[in-house]
Amino acid sequence: MKKNAIYAQSGGVTAVINASAAGVINACRDYQNQIGTLYAGENGILGVLTEDLIDTSFEPQELIEGLRYTPSGAFGSCRYKLKSLEVNRREYERLIEVFSAYDIGYFFYNGGNDSADTCLKVAQIAKELGYPIKAIHIPKTIDNDLVVTDNCPGFGSVAKYVATSIREAGYDLESMYKSSTKVFILEVMGRNAGWIAAACGLASEEAGQPPHIILFPEVEFDQEKFLAKVKESVETYGYCVIAASEGIKDKYGKELSASEHTIDDFGHHQLGGVAPVLAGIVKKYLGYKYHWAVADYLQRSARHIAAKVDVEQAYVAGYRGVELALQGRNAIMPYIKRVSQDPYLWEIDAIDLEHVANKEKFMPREFISPDGFHITQQCRDYIQPLINGEDYPPFINGLPAYVRLNKQKVAKKLAEFTIK
Amino acid sequence: MKKNAIYAQSGGVTAVINASAAGVINACRDYQNQIGTLYAGENGILGVLTEDLIDTSFEPQELIEGLRYTPSGAFGSCRYKLKSLEVNRREYERLIEVFSAYDIGYFFYNGGNDSADTCLKVAQIAKELGYPIKAIHIPKTIDNDLVVTDNCPGFGSVAKYVATSIREAGYDLESMYKSSTKVFILEVMGRNAGWIAAACGLASEEAGQPPHIILFPEVEFDQEKFLAKVKESVETYGYCVIAASEGIKDKYGKELSASEHTIDDFGHHQLGGVAPVLAGIVKKYLGYKYHWAVADYLQRSARHIAAKVDVEQAYVAGYRGVELALQGRNAIMPYIKRVSQDPYLWEIDAIDLEHVANKEKFMPREFISPDGFHITQQCRDYIQPLINGEDYPPFINGLPAYVRLNKQKVAKKLAEFTIK
């Protein structure tokens, strides 16, 4: 008796999470003699809870191929973390109720830390209730902060985007600093881990090339040292390009961007962004002409400049996830193992979720230069292969021709469930 | 007797101004029996005034080909507007002194409105002083605000970048608004003219597709109407994506971003950006979860996603500029004429600078929808062909392999000149 499957996307989307979806869908289609219908939760786990399910059988193969080059979460994602089993057992039991109603034997959950935890709990309660399921966590996060795996699908593409962007902005500054802007700040994502900021460092291949300063959340922000470094850069190279993690904190552990409660001339709250705060500091103490950019969602959805290796890893992680489930594996995460550095080679292995859930991987100290303002060669060696290769989407009328799925909904058969 | 030539880059750089430089250089090399050495002003007109000249003969042909795909101003650009002849005759006379010392017969000035004006004045004073020169203005500006020309080299690429970026961010919002961000604001350049914001509108090909709102500097910002439109979009589509020109103004003509003098918790000035101001308004009056991005220099240096047609037009404008000079034309600008809409065809013509200098082209009212929040079909028809085609730079180690020139300086032979 073939069991059906459910796939759901979770958390902040990436340029390649849909490539993982394509991998899961194609694997289910390739193994259709062993696996039944593949459903997808609309808007992630929320759709599974509320029985808002999409029957992926209605998506033609060309749209699935389109997922490989379409950013964001095609089935909808959500920021919703299931609480602990003790606090919210009701939700886990509901998941099992839905699984049971649709004869689900496989649960593929595509997300970051929180999702690994949820996936593990689903496996645990299913076991407790005697419901047979293979729960597989497909890794995804631009933050690159999952443990065990060498890197996370989604990171390579954002890394390529930010390194390209800061290189381009660096050329801009270099050509104009004599009479114009001397300090440029690019704010990138990374609340706790500085991997994305670190990736900006790849743009600097020789001494003096931008970025000149990288600010990591792992390194306490010291205003004096920062200003001295900016001054030194301007005096040495004529200008200073800075990559700043959104999550940089002062010595009290307070985020610099927490000055988001300023009131502007209109009486409105001026909101967020560490880049304008840093610009303010530079302006006040050094007086240099500055510019700043905040990439925000642009960086995690920039499929037009995704890394080919990232697209492939995302796809294969999804595809292998299905194969591992069919081999009887449960409560695991397929992860990326670096087999060789030069040439860069990787393969997929599997790890039990208990080794992954609720853990976070930060930048190791040896990846950060002694002064705390740049990356080391060791860090370059780690990140560089992850941005390799281009994998451009097709363009129509000058714009990337991303796809939208049909999202054929399944008729509900259970009692309504309210998210509390 | 062959005369020599000087080329200089002026004002804010673009993704394709170096393609114009390549056009000028290649034309001078192709016509070397009629034209002597091509010098370039280091950092634009400043380098011409201070006799900081680069001999372009020392640049190998492969670097000139590299200029075609390298953003920013390879010879250095500057923000320096020569004052009127009456106020600062000294600088114009210095230019003629430098021209004379280097036997310059051709002056190619690559810039926007201000440069057109400078170029015209150079032609005028040369005539007055009896110095024979052919002064040619090569158009360049991301702002697309030069008159006469159908469009400006530099605009197509920034248009392609912002339309791609807001489409990608739109997909992001679409997949997550149910449980996360409902309003996203992308701030783009455009202090007076809304062409770049208008280009964002290309991303929306069907009703309901992002961006849902475009804010132009040509349309007075009305907070009530804006909030009503945001609310309507969120209630209709579930979310709202906004493209905002940096230069939007209230009914008193005051820029919204002028609330740059807010003080944050650190006592620092919080600087600039209309996006956070708009986010603050949305937060205060509607309470929606928001995110915002400021593209800043990323947009004008994003050579990795330049429009092929833009690269070609920039190159040909430079090349034709040299040919026009050799035909004896003076005080003119080669400009782009749209010969046919479908298929899009263009050619280069020439216009006297007195018809171009000190004029600015704004978005015509018929390009803006009646409610002031979007573009019309007429506007789409105008902008769309300008973003056509991709022209990717080569990549090495996952990053665009942009070039840097040798910039061989010429030994000075004149008395020092101080910029006042």
Is the pLDDT at B259 greater than 80, yes or no? no
Give how far Cα B269 sits from Cα of A21, A275, A279, A290, Å.
45, 12, 8, 13
User: Which has the closest alpha carbon to B295: B219, B243, B221, B240?
Assistant: B243
The confidence score (pLDDT) of residue B165 equals 98
User: Residue B374 — pLDDT band, cuts 50, 70, 90?
Assistant: very high
Q: Could you report the per-residue pLDDT of A181-216, keeping only the tens digit for each?
A: 999 999 999 999 999 999 999 999 999 999 999 999
The confidence score (pLDDT) of residue B1 equals 85
| CB-nearest partner of A293 from B180, B181, B294 | B294
CA-closest candidate to residue A383, choices A148, A200, A210, A246:
A200
Residue-wise pLDDT tens digits, B171-193: 999 999 999 999 999 999 999 99
Q: Taking residues B103-116, what's their average pLDDT?
A: 96
- Is B297 close to A296, i.e. CB distance below 8 A? no
CB contact under 8 A, B292 and A295: no
User: A281 to chain B: nearest residue by CA?
Assistant: B268
Q: Which two tokens stand for residue B169?
A: 């961010």
Residue B258 has pLDDT above 80, yes or no: no
Separation of alpha carbons B56 and B37, rounded Å: 8
Task: Give contacts of B303 with chain A, Cβ < 8 Å.
Answer: 168
Residue matched to tokens 């101080």: B418
Which of these, B283, B276, B267, B274, lies nearest to B245 by C-alpha position?
B274
Q: Which of A114, A117, A143, A391 is catalytic?
A: A143
Q: What is the DSSP letter of A399?
A: E
Residue B211: closest CA among B221, B201, B220:
B201
* Distance, CA of A136 to CA of A331 (rounded, Å): 6
Q: Which of A131-135, B53-57, B88-92 is the least confident region?
A: B88-92
- Residue A259 pLDDT: 55
User: Is residue A172 annotated as part of the catalytic site, yes or no?
Assistant: no
Residue of A nearest to B403 (CA): A171
The mean-pLDDT minimum among B23-37, B53-67, B268-282 falls in B268-282
Judging by beta carbons within 10 Å of its beta carbon (0-12, 13-18, 19+), is residue A326 exposed, middle or buried?
A: middle
Contact state of B264 with A280 under an 8 Å Cβ cutoff: yes
A304 contacts B164? CB cut-off 8 A: yes
Distance CA B78, CA B157 (A): 21
Distance from CA of A210 to the nearest CA of B (A): 13
Per-residue CA distances from B93 to B89, B100, B123, B412 (Å): 6, 10, 12, 18
B251 burial type by CB count under 10 A (0-12 exposed, 13-18 middle, 19+ buried): exposed
| Closest CB from A46, A164, A276 relative to B399 | A164
Return the SS3 of A135.
Answer: strand
Task: Name chain A contacts of B178, Cβ cutoff 8 Å.
Answer: 43, 46, 76, 78
How does DSSP classify residue A73?
-
CA distance, residue B350 to nearest chain A CA (Å): 28
Q: Which residue of B has its CA nearest to A302?
A: B168
**pLDDT at residue B260 is higher than 50:** no
CA distance B107 to B331: 10
How far apart CA B81 and CA B118 sit, in angstroms, is 7
Task: Show the 3-state SS of chain B.
Answer: CCEEEEEEECCCCCCCHHHHHHHHHHHHHHCCCCEEEEEEECCCHHHHHCCCEEEHHHCCHHHHHHHCCCCCCCCCCCCCCCCCCCCCHHHHHHHHHHHHHCCEEEEEEEECHHHHHHHHHHHHHHHHCCCCCEEEEEECCCCCCCCCCCCCCCHHHHHHHHHHHHHHHHHHHHHHCCCCCCEEEEEECCCCCCHHHHHHHHHCCCCCCCCCEEECCCCCCCHHHHHHHHHHHHHHHCCEEEEEECCCECCCCCEHHHHHHEECCCCCEECCCHHHHHHHHHHHHCCCCEEEEECCHHHHHCHHHCEHHHHHHHHHHHHHHHHHHHCCCCCEEEEEEEEECCCCEEEEEEEEHHHCCCCCCCCCHHHECCCCCCECHHHHHHHHHHHCCECCCCEECCEECCCCCCCCECCCCCCCCCCC
Find, among B89, B61, B291, the residue nearest to B185 by Cα.
B291
pLDDT at B85: 84
Tokens for B115, please give them. 């440069």
Q: What is the pLDDT of residue A228?
A: 98
Q: Do A296 and B291 lie within an 8 Å CB cutoff?
A: yes
Q: Which residue has the higher pLDDT, B419 or B366?
A: B366
Residue B232 neighbours by CB under 8 Å, 6+ apart: none
pLDDT at A278: 94
Q: Rg of chain A over CA atoms, in angstroms? A: 23
Q: Which of B168, B293, B304 sits opposite A303 (nearest CB)?
A: B168
Which pLDDT belongs to residue B263? 47
pLDDT band of B271, cuts 50, 70, 90 = low
CB contact under 8 A, B256 and A277: no
Q: How many residues does chain B have?
A: 420
CA distance B349 to chain A (A): 25
User: Strand A183-188 and strand A240-245: pairing?
Assistant: parallel
Q: Which residues of chain A have pLDDT under 50?
A: 260-265, 269-270
What pLDDT, on a 0 to 100 scale, did the predictor assign at position A265?
47
CA–CA separation, B377 and B89 (whole Å): 48
The reported pLDDT for the residue numbered A8 is 98
Is the pTM value of this prediction over 0.95? yes
Q: Is the dihedral of CA A128, A83, A16, A365 positive or negative?
A: negative
d(CA A279, CA A291): 7
